[in-house]
Amino acid sequence: MKKGELFSRRNLDFLLFETHKISELLGHSPYQAHDRETIGLALDTAADIAERHMKPAFVDSDRNPPFIRDGQVIVHPVTHAFYHSFSESGLLASTFPESLGGMQLPRSVFAAIDFIIGSAHNGFQMYTSLAVSASRLIESFGSQDQKDLYLPRLLSGDWAATMCLTESQAGSSLSDITTTAFLQPDGFYKIKGQKIFISAGDHDITENILHLVLARIEGAPKGVKGLSLFTVPKKWLGDSGELTDNDITSVGIFHKMGQQSTPALHLEFGAGNHCRGQLIGEPNQGLKYMFQMMNSSRLAVGLAGGYIASAAYYTSLQYARERIQGRNLEEKNPLSEPVPIISHPDVRRLLFKQKAFTEACLSLVIQCQLYLDRLQTGVPGEEKKKYEQLLELMTPMVKVYGSEEGNDSVHAGLQVLGGYGYTRDFILEQLARDVRILSIYEGTTAIQGQSLLGRQILSGDGSVLDLWQMETGQDLGMASAHPDLKPYVLNLSENITGFISVSRELIRKARETSAVPALADASLFVEWFGLLNAGWQWIKQAYTALVALEKAVSPEDRIFYRSKLETMKYFFHYELPRTQALLQRIGEAAPITLFPPDEILI
């Protein structure tokens, strides 16, 4: 471990090449141009950008947040250097086809790139993440004219992008959106309305910003079925190449608890009655299109929990090795020398907690991104359907696991530092503020739970759980052959069986009576599912480490692999037992949170 390190490159290589074996993916189109060397170069480039531009500005950009001057949002100057370096390196466009200036890099590899830059500065990472996901949406659903206009400018870094969903009266209830689009004689739409909490909604990094705006065409049905999606640039590009104002006003910047370097904007569209937008795809299909970007963002938020926790973990690990305080528990002599606090069992527990979460979270995101990568290789119909269903099932879980457990992990790091963790002398207090928003981004934990339980489980026959059990079973079956892992495999297998049994009972009750009692505890259900999936990833990693230990490896590698095994044991002895309490709660009768709406009992 190098001083000041915020992530482990050794762990990235272990997860990508040893655990998830992405070299097998590289043999298929469109990824044949890549090998371990080219992927290593991409990771090195990300690490260099993080070291030069992101880490040095992490604290200063928090102390000097964006502000509005003459109607224009001004961001920290280093944000410009990062954005343009990331774009010019080719990383911004790296997962896109060569025809768009991309490298056709697997998304699983880009997750590792995001992990590197996010651990250095989680606020700066948001700007590039929005540009990538907006470009992906236009590539999938935009007209050829929209692709020709926006993709070259977005992927080169000349323009940036946002997603504009939330409104003050609607919040997460998108069916109540009132922003309206009025069809004009020229085929464009006049856009009128306001959006709030728009991350990177305005800034001075790029010459233009493309807003993807959910709005209701005049006369469209109420509810989500009447929502359409529009491209609404901050400035309109004229025929001669000039950029003109498109009547979008930055009303104000919200003063956030964390992630100060990325402004959250209150935007008004059409205050002067001349804001123009263009429809993406078909009318009234906007939420369907936006779900691609939202699901991509949910995986990104889950990953953010991992990389923010990684920065906290490596900071607290270094502190625990250097901070001398107290004596070993068995030492009774007050004259004996104090020891580094890493010698204390409870400090080691806190460090194990962080390591167990950080490395399981990254592994889960890579697992999901590999499904997306395999979908690009032209897999046959049944296999394609399998990957799509697994992605739908696991995406809300990854978002919740990364955001909720990431928050706990960062606070474990803060606890390691004790009083210093609560001061600005170390970055832990800033990380604790930054990580807290993740469980709210892209739909709260309750919304993710209802998406998983309501949309994926209760609305079906449970077959998607059979698919997931088969997927986990392949890895558990291999690992069970190793005697050191057999007890842990049996433990997780029994937990999975209990989860599926309770899920089927919830399906039965929902069909016979109501889904409401089950959905009342949906947040607990997705927490349970997250722990089981983290256990699955730890079995995968532990099996990989055991196989590697049987070969001739260096002393450093032996320590790395043994650490993997000990962290897996920690997870199974300290974290996985929480599933028993969740099983008991969710398997019981109706929750006490349900009561007649005319009674106020709290």
Which positions are annotated as active-site residues? 442
Q: Tell me, what amino acid is at 6?
A: L
Secondary structure class of 228 (helix, strand, coil): strand
Q: Give backbone dihedrals phi and psi of 497, rounded to 5 degrees, phi first.
A: -60, -45
Beta bridge partners of 230: 213, 279
DSSP secondary structure, 295-347, as one string: HHHHHHHHHHHHHHHHHHHHHHHHHHHH-B-S--TT---TTSPP-BGGGSHHH
Q: What is the DSSP letter of 268?
A: E
When computed from its CA atoms, the radius of gyration of the chain, rounded to whole angstroms, is: 25
What CA–CA distances, in Å, run from 74 to 68, 262, 444? Answer: 6, 11, 29
Give the helix/strand (H/E) hosting 264: strand 264-269
The span from the CA of 438 to the CA of 402, in Å, is 8
Q: Give backbone dihedrals phi and psi of 463, rounded to 5 degrees, phi first.
A: -65, -30
The span from the CA of 352 to the CA of 350, in Å, is 5
β pairing state of 208-217 and 159-164: parallel
Three-point CA angle 363, 369, 375, nearest 5° = 140
Secondary structure class of 72 (helix, strand, coil): strand
Q: Are 212 and 137 in contact (CB under 8 A)?
A: yes
Q: Are 121 and 114 in contact (CB under 8 A)?
A: no
What CA–CA distances, in Å, run from 214 to 134, 318, 549, 550? Answer: 13, 46, 53, 55
Residue 323, both tokens: 């901070």
Beta strands in 189-263 (DSSP E): 189-199, 208-217, 227-233, 235-237, 243-245, 248-253
Q: Are 99 and 30 in contact (CB under 8 A)?
A: no
Helix-strand-coil percent breakdown of the chain, rounded to 5? 60, 10, 30
Give the helix/strand (H/E) hosting 509: helix 486-512
CA 13 remoteness from chain centre = 20
Q: What is the DSSP letter of 126?
A: H
What CA–CA distances, in Å, run from 275 to 18, 187, 212, 289? Answer: 52, 14, 13, 22
**Contacting residues for 106 by C-beta, under 8 A, at least 6 apart:** 22, 25, 26, 31, 34, 95, 369, 370, 373
Phi-psi region of 259 (alpha: psi -120 to 50; beta: other; left: phi over 0): left
